[in-house]
Amino acid sequence: MKIAIAGYGVEGEENYKYWSADPSNELTIVDERTEPSHALPDEAISVLGAGVFEKLEGFDLVVRSAGLAPYKIHTDGKVWSATNEFFAKSPAEIIGVTGSKGKGTTASLIASILEAAGRKVWLVGNIGVPALSVLPQIQPEDIVVYELSSFQLWDLEQSPEVAVVLMIEQEHLDVHRSMAEYVEAKAQITRYQTEDDLLIFNQRNEYARQIAEQSDARKIGFPSVNEAQVHDEVFYYGNQAICSTNELRIRGDHNISNALAAIDAVWPFTQDPAAIKAGLNAFNGLPHRLAFVANVDGVEYYDDSIATTPTSAVAALQAFPNQPKVIILGGSYKGSDFTEVGKELTRHSVHAILIGDEAGRIAEACEAAGFTDYEIMEEATAEKFTRRAAEVVPEGGVVLLSPASASFGLFKNYADRGDQFIAAVKNLG
């Protein structure tokens, strides 16, 4: 079979390994970059340069990397993906998790609970483990927890047995051509579900509700009086008390919501309160997700670099309702609306440091909301904005790197931004 590996980064490299294992396949690496981010195999046939994705006639299969939009590919063959391949071949049940934010945390909580219940779990997908790399090891009795971005869902042809849809907001509009297209991609997680499958969705989110309305699956909207819920700082499933919310080691009401979704998702597999408690307690959080960095001179520093959307920054502010704060906001453009960030800032004792291409638009949202305690920092580096935050934060306060924006332009990615912030905090003093 003639196969084009379209896009050659981390996922493209894994795709090449997977399909080259069959010697009957004839592979060609195709990338618009003349120098892809990963070195090509010595034996590889490649076609590189601008416009190559529009000239893919003659291939039986075009395997796109997740970040490559299907509409950019012109071929007379079949467009496919690692996600489609995994769903078609996995012998185990799949719990799929999507949302604009929180999907990595929720997927990790699900995996942690199931492991505490004694199940063999494979946590794969957008969280960083290429699914195809572990596919040969998966057994029918195992459980797969798959974190799914809109890019992975875009052209999915099979839905998971259990689908989780968290809060959805404007995101990736630098790639998706409209919000409607973005939501439609997210909806693929339940498009092929049947009444025998389960959909768990955030019933307080308009877009999640829209997706649920289209689904044929059995539905659970969280929080719910009949399923996962919180009363008096205790997690319940229906009338069954599970454990105190204090067992959850990650901060913020948004993480309480993530935990409710996780409890709903694991309930078909375990109803053991002790296992759920142990799983919640065992998870210490993911890097760059409202992660405590250090206490320096009585000030707490938190790395929330994964917060690339306005709602994420709002959630970070709400996690520290009573402490004076400095928040670092801004980065590169991705089509976000900062209106709610401006409004939320007015509810806190906070100084905002605005950086990057989005600084001006965030400033406009602040002014519209009546919030003026901000400054725009030109040519900001992690060292500069961290030192400035340390200068202006009150004693006993909190410094939040929660940018509400993408990182590109100033940093390689959100992880690089967070890592540089951590290094800058450690250099204070």
Q: Tokens 């800032």 identify what position?
A: 345
The residue among 371 and 429 whose pLDDT is bigger is 371
What backbone torsions phi and psi does residue 293 show, to the nearest 5 degrees?
A: -100, -55
| Strand-by-strand arrangement of the 162-165 sheet | 121-125, 143-147, 93-98, 162-165, 198-202, 218-222
213 DSSP 8-state letter: H
* Nearest Cα to Cα of residue 109 among 244, 220, 264, 304: 264
What is the pLDDT confidence band of residue 172, given thresholds at 50, 70 and 90?
confident
What is the pLDDT confidence band of residue 163, given thresholds at 50, 70 and 90?
very high
SS3 of residue 425 by DSSP? helix
Domain count, the chain: 3
**Do 256 and 377 have their domain in common?**
no
Q: What is the pLDDT of residue 129?
A: 86
Q: What is the pLDDT of residues 108-160, one digit of tens each?
A: 999 999 999 999 999 999 886 899 999 999 999 999 999 999 999 999 999 99
Q: Is the pLDDT of residue 174 over 90?
A: no
Residue at a domain's end among 282, 317, 346: 282
Q: Tokens 């996922």 identify what position?
A: 11
**Do 96 and 126 have their domain in common?**
yes
**Do 128 and 256 have their domain in common?**
yes
Average pLDDT score over residue span 195-218: 97
**Do 220 and 266 have their domain in common?**
yes
Q: What is the pLDDT of residue 359?
A: 97
CA–CA separation, 226 vs 49, rounded Å?
55
- Give the amino acid at 82: A
What is the pLDDT confidence band of residue 265, given thresholds at 50, 70 and 90?
very high
CA–CA separation, 73 vs 314, rounded Å?
37
Average pLDDT score over residue span 232-257: 95
Residue at a domain's end among 21, 45, 76: 76
Q: Which residues pair with 374 in a beta bridge?
A: 352
CA–CA separation, 322 vs 317, rounded Å?
10
* Nearest Cα to Cα of residue 128 among 155, 160, 152: 152
Q: What is the pLDDT of residues 47-80, one digit of tens each?
A: 999 999 999 999 999 999 998 999 999 999 999 9
**Do 208 and 349 have their domain in common?**
no
**Do 68 and 18 have their domain in common?**
yes
Q: Which domain holds residue 129?
A: 84-282
Half-sphere exposure of 387 (CA within 13 A, CB side): 9
Is residue 27 within 8 Å of residue 3, measured between CB atoms?
Answer: yes
Residue at a domain's end among 22, 44, 76: 76
What is the pLDDT confidence band of residue 302, given thresholds at 50, 70 and 90?
very high
Helix segments in 168-325, DSSP class H: 179-191, 206-213, 253-266, 273-282, 310-318
CA–CA separation, 183 vs 170, rounded Å?
9
Average pLDDT score over residue span 154-181: 91
What backbone torsions phi and psi does residue 142 show, to the nearest 5 degrees?
A: -75, 175
- Interhelix angle 253-266/103-116, rounded to 10 degrees, is 50
Q: What is the pLDDT of residues 306-342, one digit of tens each?
A: 999 899 999 999 999 999 999 999 999 888 999 999 9
CA–CA separation, 48 vs 422, rounded Å?
37
Residue 196: CATH number of its domain: 3.40.1190.10
Q: What is the pLDDT of residue 334?
A: 84
Average pLDDT score over residue span 360-381: 97
**Do 35 and 146 have their domain in common?**
no
**Do 226 and 362 have their domain in common?**
no
Q: Is the pLDDT of residue 101 over 90?
A: no
CA–CA separation, 56 vs 2, rounded Å?
11
SS3 of residue 361 by DSSP? helix
CA–CA separation, 36 vs 31, rounded Å?
7
**Do 202 and 306 have their domain in common?**
no
CA–CA separation, 357 vs 362, rounded Å?
10
Q: What is the pLDDT of residue 203?
A: 97
What is the pLDDT confidence band of residue 171, given thresholds at 50, 70 and 90?
confident
The residue among 416 and 429 whose pLDDT is bigger is 416
289 DSSP 8-state letter: S
Average pLDDT score over residue span 400-417: 94
**Do 57 and 172 have their domain in common?**
no
Q: What is the pLDDT of residue 176?
A: 82
CA–CA separation, 229 vs 72, rounded Å?
43
Distance of CA 254 to the CA centre of its chain: 14
* Nearest Cα to Cα of residue 127 among 277, 11, 295: 11
Q: How far is CA 290 from CA 128, 169, 250, in A?
A: 19, 19, 8
**Do 133 and 249 have their domain in common?**
yes
CA–CA separation, 96 vs 408, rounded Å?
28
Residue 421: CATH number of its domain: 3.90.190.20
Mean pLDDT over the full length of the chain: 95
Q: What is the pLDDT of residue 170?
A: 80
CA–CA separation, 303 vs 400, rounded Å?
6
Average pLDDT score over residue span 23-35: 96
